[in-house]
Chain A
Amino acid sequence: MNRQVSSLFVVLALLFMVLVGSTSWWTVVRANDLKNKPTNRRALIQEQRVPRGVIYARDDKTVLARSVPHGRGQTRVFSRTYPTGSLFSHSIGYSFILNGRRGLEESRNDDLAGKENEFASILSGLESRRQEGFDLVTNLDPAGQKTAIQSLGGQKGAVVALEPATGKVRVMASVPGYDANQIPRGFNRLNRDPNKPLFNRATQELYPPGSTFKVVTATAALDSGKATPSSIFDGHSPRTISGAPLANAGGENFGPITLTDALTNSVNTVFAQVGERVGRSTLLKYMNRYGFNEKPKLDYPAEQLIRSGIRDGKGELVDGATGFDIGRVAIGQGGLEGAITATPLQMAEVAATVANGGKLMKPRFTDRIVRKDGRVKQRIEPDMQAQVMKAQTAKELGAMMTKVVEEGTATAAALQGIQVAGKTGTAEVANGAANQAWFIAFAPVEKPKIAIAVTVERTQGQGGTVAAPIAKQVLQTLLKHE
């Protein structure tokens, strides 16, 4: 009978193997599938039970977001509160069970929720400590942010200020904003609002950059050796570009003029010629180096970032060196085949690159991730995204932009005792009924600490009169504390 006993045992052992197999099936093979079942509310419930980390401003003191407990014992849950109200609504975003997550709350969710890698979670499992989120210290500057929102004064628009050498995002303002604390009750109303307060204009909205794009065109021309700051161009207006006449602002006529003076006075006809001389493929090459045609490398949710670039009538990016009106793209506009569009963040990156000797640093909100006991879990070190141009080119371009603020279109941005370099932009929108006003700048010129982009929607003013004064206010606030 012993042979039968052995075979019976083999059968039972096989049954146990089936059980281990079925357990593996659910815990490993189908685990993700199970997590995504609509009836599976475990993740949501679990999430509520973990206090998320605190989000601090760059001073490490101002609390931008924290979790507050409700209830006790096993049924204790946490919810999010935002002490600064609407000040940082777009960059910090929000995190609520029923509304999901936006902004940094989403992009740094794993850290805020305290997720460790598999190995570390075993260790903490052995320690059996209650799971807790990690704190974030951001680069965000409450004073600068306040100034930016106040100076926009309710006009729709955006301000982005970066540290050129590190890519730290010091200010990101988008008006109108919202109070993240109102999200659970007011989400539907905010979502329906035609002014799109939930929308981050700094990263999600594409605007025609107007003449601020001439900085990109000039980069391509100088760095590829197609022109120097003192190259002479013909500044007559109007001039036929791609078969249609192009005029300067106010129809102003310039004679033979250097590239530096053409930038100072934002001469369209000259930069259209520069664009034609540089050519489509070279311009695209430099645009790509600046980060156009891809999403900014910001620690921010991908769905809240949009690619800047030349877009056709359907909103599709025009890639390759095929048909677009190079002359009009070179001055920040475009033609039927495609017009240049850019986000305020992208234009701030352009200014920061020139300020940083041609090196584009990846922009980032987060400075460090800190454990509850104060140990730094991770420090986000500056990371170069691209060497856009030679250091020499950046220096020449910086000098040209300095003249814009000293004697050109942007004198309104001049600061007492501090040299500012910048470029204005004014793009006609709504068939000429209104302007998209722009200003990009950096300061101080000798040792740039801040690069900034300001844009105002649908204004009757110009870049130099509307956007430049806002930039001046924000730069003043930010540089005061340096």
Chain B
Amino acid sequence: MMSARSARIRELFGLIPVTLCVTAGFAGVLITRSAQIQDATLTYGAFFLALCVGAHLFIRARLPYADPYIFPLAALLAAFGLVEIYRIDPELARQQAQWFVVALIFFCATIYFLRDHHILERYRYTIAAASLALLLMPRLPGIGGQTNGAFLAISVGPIQFQPAEIAKLGIIVFLASYLREVGDVLVRPRLRPPPLWRQILTYGLPLLAVVLLILAVHPGIAVSVLLLVFTASLVAVVLERPSLKHFGPLLLIWGLAMLMLIFIRDLGSSLMFFGGFLALLYLATSRLSLVGVGASMFFAGAIFFADRIPHVHERVDTWLHPFAPRIADSTGYQISQGLFAQGDGGLFGQGFGQALLKLPGGGTILPAAHTDLIYAVVVNETGLFGGAALMIVYLLLTARGFAIASMANDGFSKLLAAGLSTVLALQVFVIVGGVTAVIPLTGVTLPFVSYGGSSIVANMVLLALLLVISEHARSEQGRRGGLV
């Protein structure tokens, strides 16, 4: 019991810097705004501390062994997000604070009702079907709708939410469960490698054919590389003599990712889902060749559709030439202004509450500053150091998730913990990569930081799942006397 208490004490103390951060942040913004410290800053800090201590006490009661760092790290991100949103619009911050409370309720409910995450395995097909339905909901007339050309949100009455945020949890649960079962039979155990001349022949002939094809057709560098990777990986997969009947579902998942691209028209979330799938596929089979086939098929599909779906094509064009005169004023306005804002941030940033968001006439200079572009606001105000610090916090959170995965005792727990952490990390990559023009900008949220109810609720549930897995792993290890 000693170790359980020490873990909870570490968690409690981890919350202190978080509270200091949120108080200091609000104070900074308020001072900038009204040139005097108000009691409000302390109230906000105290309110936030009370919420977090409440959640902490709940974890203490229900999951005494769970990982002590995950909750403070997420609270830090949420606090940072609240400060930034408050700085953009106090009314939005009030709403987001309410959503944070709702998210904490969902967080506690998940922990309360889900004693054992293995129950989820039983309902995996239901969960998968529900998730797919959620994903396609924005296309439904009446509740669905288009934002910037992508179908990501639905509105029911006054409440708007992004079903993809919830669906990502379900899909990871399904994939973890499914791959745990078929992972071992998907590929047969490795045989003794065939002699070198046969290897050269089996790899060489198809590759030679592809090279000849490339020379004949001149399809461009990206397509050529994809073809080569695809061929080499496919040969490697074939050499493993895979069981074809288990490949059906995998092709189905690829098809679904492509369908998402067509129906939802969002490259970012497709990338996030398919990346999560490939990561789990690799963990379950430990075959890079499968990942190679999957990745090259995904990118081939993406390139194919990028040319044919106008919205996706436009996104890619904007990404490649954000400053081109015709683009910078229209489709590239958001990304180019986001990059300008980051450029102004420099090393140390302009200080909390200093970012330029409004035009003198009253218009906005950074569209969707509180959601898509919140990272640009963060970098503008806190500079490269602030942005890098934020990335480190996400990396630490991911690292804790992976620590849980390696500590877990069964395949499902491992796959689930790693899958949830991967999808969280990939979501950060998709939006921050989009804002910094590494990949085309898409409309997913920055977990815990961006404004958005469904985002924070889904991500708090994700944390709850990680903590439940962690509780099982650590308590078992504790029983065996091996907890570090």
A5 at the B interface (CB under 8 A): yes
B183 (CB) vs chain A CBs: closest residue: A1
Number of interface residues of A (CB under 8 A): 51
User: Could you say which residues of chain B place their CB within 8 Å of the CB of A131?
Assistant: 354
Whether A26 touches B356, Cβ cut-off 8 Å, given contacts A16-B394, A42-B340, is: no
The answer on a CB contact under 8 Å between A125 and B349 is yes
B464 to chain A, nearest CB (A): 21
User: Could you say which residues of chain A place their CB within 8 Å of the CB of B336?
Assistant: 37, 39-40
**Residues 351-391 of B contacting A (Cβ, < 8 Å):** 351-354, 356-362, 365, 379, 383-384, 387-388, 391
A124 to chain B, nearest CB (A): 8
The answer on a CB contact under 8 Å between B351 and A125 is yes
User: Could you say which residues of chain A place their CB within 8 Å of the CB of B438?
Assistant: 18-19, 22
Q: Bound complex: CA of A15 vs CA of B426, how far in Å?
A: 8
A6 at the B interface (CB under 8 A): yes
A375 at the B interface (CB under 8 A): no
The answer on a CB contact under 8 Å between A8 and B360 is no
B292 to chain A, nearest CB (A): 14
A-B contact pairs, 29 of them (CB 8 A): A1-B286, A2-B406, A4-B282, A5-B283, A5-B402, A6-B406, A16-B398, A16-B428, A18-B429, A19-B391, A19-B432, A19-B436, A22-B433, A26-B339, A27-B346, A27-B379, A27-B383, A31-B346, A38-B325, A39-B325, A39-B328, A40-B336, A40-B340, A46-B344, A49-B356, A49-B360, A125-B350, A128-B352, A129-B31
Whether A8 touches B391, Cβ cut-off 8 Å, given contacts A15-B425, A26-B342, is: no
Q: Bound complex: CA of A259 vs CA of B406, how far in Å?
A: 100
| Chain A 1-35 per-residue mask, 1 if CB under 8 angstroms from chain B, else 0 | 11111101100110110111011111110110111
The answer on a CB contact under 8 Å between A125 and B341 is no
Q: Bound complex: CA of A173 vs CA of B56, how far in Å?
A: 74
The answer on a CB contact under 8 Å between A20 and B360 is no
Q: Bound complex: CA of A26 vs CA of B359, how far in Å?
A: 22
B280 (CB) vs chain A CBs: closest residue: A8
Q: Bound complex: CA of A26 vs CA of B405, how far in Å?
A: 35
The answer on a CB contact under 8 Å between A23 and B406 is no
B181 at the A interface (CB under 8 A): no
The answer on a CB contact under 8 Å between B384 and A1 is no
Whether A12 touches B436, Cβ cut-off 8 Å, given contacts A2-B406, A45-B365, is: no
A322 at the B interface (CB under 8 A): no
Q: Which residues of B contact A (CB under 8 A)?
A: 28, 31-32, 35, 279, 282-283, 286, 323, 325, 328-329, 336, 339-354, 356-362, 365, 379, 383-384, 387-388, 391-392, 394-395, 398-399, 402, 405-406, 411, 414, 418, 421-422, 425-426, 428-429, 432-433, 436-438
Whether A130 touches B384, Cβ cut-off 8 Å, given contacts A1-B414, A28-B347, A37-B323, is: no
The answer on a CB contact under 8 Å between A71 and B28 is no
A48 at the B interface (CB under 8 A): yes
Q: Which one of B35, B358, B387, B414 contacts A5 once the chains associate, using CB atoms below 8 Å?
A: B414
Q: Bound complex: CA of A19 vs CA of B375, how far in Å?
A: 11
* Closest 6 pairs between A and B when the two form their complex, measured CB to CB: A125-B351, A34-B343, A22-B436, A39-B328, A27-B384, A9-B402
Q: Which one of A23, A35, A41, A128 contacts B28 once the chains associate, using CB atoms below 8 Å?
A: A128
The answer on a CB contact under 8 Å between A28 and B339 is no
The answer on a CB contact under 8 Å between A37 and B282 is no
Q: Which one of A19, A24, A30, A38 contacts B428 once the chains associate, using CB atoms below 8 Å?
A: A19
B351 to chain A, nearest CB (A): 3
Q: Bound complex: CA of A370 vs CA of B414, how far in Å?
A: 64
User: Could you say which residues of chain B place their CB within 8 Å of the CB of A39?
Assistant: 323, 325, 328-329, 336
A334 to chain B, nearest CB (A): 50
User: Could you say which residues of chain A place their CB within 8 Å of the CB of B282?
Assistant: 4, 8
The answer on a CB contact under 8 Å between B342 and A23 is yes
Counted as pairs of residues, one from A and one from B, with CB atoms less than 8 Å apart, the total is 165
User: Could you say which residues of chain B place their CB within 8 Å of the CB of A18?
Assistant: 429, 433, 438
User: Could you say which residues of chain B place their CB within 8 Å of the CB of A431?
Assistant: none
A266 to chain B, nearest CB (A): 59
B394 (CB) vs chain A CBs: closest residue: A16
B238 to chain A, nearest CB (A): 22
A48 (CB) vs chain B CBs: closest residue: B360
Q: Bound complex: CA of A18 vs CA of B394, how far in Å?
A: 14
User: Could you say which residues of chain B place their CB within 8 Å of the CB of A5?
Assistant: 283, 402, 405-406, 414, 418
Extra A-B contacts (8), CB below 8 Å, given A12-B425, A125-B349? A3-B286, A6-B406, A19-B428, A22-B433, A26-B342, A26-B379, A27-B387, A39-B328
Whether A23 touches B387, Cβ cut-off 8 Å, given contacts A9-B398, A46-B356, is: yes
**Residues 111-138 of A contacting B (Cβ, < 8 Å):** 118, 121-122, 124-126, 128-131
Q: Bound complex: CA of A126 vs CA of B24, how far in Å?
A: 10
The answer on a CB contact under 8 Å between A128 and B31 is yes
Q: Which one of B325, B343, B353, B357 contacts A30 once the chains associate, using CB atoms below 8 Å?
A: B343
Q: Bound complex: CA of A4 vs CA of B329, how far in Å?
A: 45
User: Could you say which residues of chain B place their CB within 8 Å of the CB of A118?
Assistant: 347-348
Whether A8 touches B279, Cβ cut-off 8 Å, given contacts A42-B365, A45-B360, A130-B32, is: yes
Whether A77 touches B360, Cβ cut-off 8 Å, given contacts A5-B405, A37-B336, is: yes
The answer on a CB contact under 8 Å between B32 and A128 is yes
Q: Bound complex: CA of A128 vs CA of B329, how far in Å?
A: 33
Q: Bound complex: CA of A130 vs CA of B31, how far in Å?
A: 9
The answer on a CB contact under 8 Å between B437 and A22 is yes
User: Could you say which residues of chain A place their CB within 8 Å of the CB of B353?
Assistant: 128
A13 (CB) vs chain B CBs: closest residue: B395
The answer on a CB contact under 8 Å between B429 and A19 is yes
Q: Bound complex: CA of A12 vs CA of B429, how far in Å?
A: 9
The answer on a CB contact under 8 Å between B348 and A121 is yes
A188 at the B interface (CB under 8 A): no
Whether A20 touches B349, Cβ cut-off 8 Å, given contacts A15-B425, A46-B356, is: no
Q: Bound complex: CA of A118 vs CA of B421, how far in Å?
A: 38
The answer on a CB contact under 8 Å between B35 and A130 is yes
The answer on a CB contact under 8 Å between B342 and A75 is no
A230 at the B interface (CB under 8 A): no
The answer on a CB contact under 8 Å between B348 and A8 is no
User: Could you say which residues of chain A place their CB within 8 Å of the CB of B339?
Assistant: 26, 34
B376 (CB) vs chain A CBs: closest residue: A26
A416 at the B interface (CB under 8 A): no
The answer on a CB contact under 8 Å between A23 and B437 is no
Q: Bound complex: CA of A122 vs CA of B345, how far in Å?
A: 12
A37 (CB) vs chain B CBs: closest residue: B323
User: Could you say which residues of chain B place their CB within 8 Å of the CB of A129?
Assistant: 31, 35
Q: Bound complex: CA of A6 vs CA of B418, how far in Å?
A: 10
B392 to chain A, nearest CB (A): 8
**Residues 142-194 of A contacting B (Cβ, < 8 Å):** none
User: Could you say which residues of chain A place their CB within 8 Å of the CB of B347?
Assistant: 27-28, 118
A29 (CB) vs chain B CBs: closest residue: B343
User: Could you say which residues of chain A place their CB within 8 Å of the CB of B362?
Assistant: 75
Q: Which one of A26, A38, A74 contacts B358 once the chains associate, using CB atoms below 8 Å?
A: A74
User: Could you say which residues of chain B place their CB within 8 Å of the CB of A13?
Assistant: 395, 398
The answer on a CB contact under 8 Å between A12 and B422 is yes
Q: Which of A28, A77, A118 has the most CB of B within 10 A?
A: A28
The answer on a CB contact under 8 Å between B35 and A34 is no
The answer on a CB contact under 8 Å between A125 and B348 is yes
User: Could you say which residues of chain B place their CB within 8 Å of the CB of A49?
Assistant: 356, 360
A43 to chain B, nearest CB (A): 8
Q: Which one of A9, A12, A15, A20 contacts B387 once the chains associate, using CB atoms below 8 Å?
A: A20
The answer on a CB contact under 8 Å between B283 and A16 is no
B299 to chain A, nearest CB (A): 16
The answer on a CB contact under 8 Å between B348 and A16 is no
B383 (CB) vs chain A CBs: closest residue: A27
B348 to chain A, nearest CB (A): 5
Q: Bound complex: CA of A121 vs CA of B344, how far in Å?
A: 13
B285 (CB) vs chain A CBs: closest residue: A4
B388 (CB) vs chain A CBs: closest residue: A20
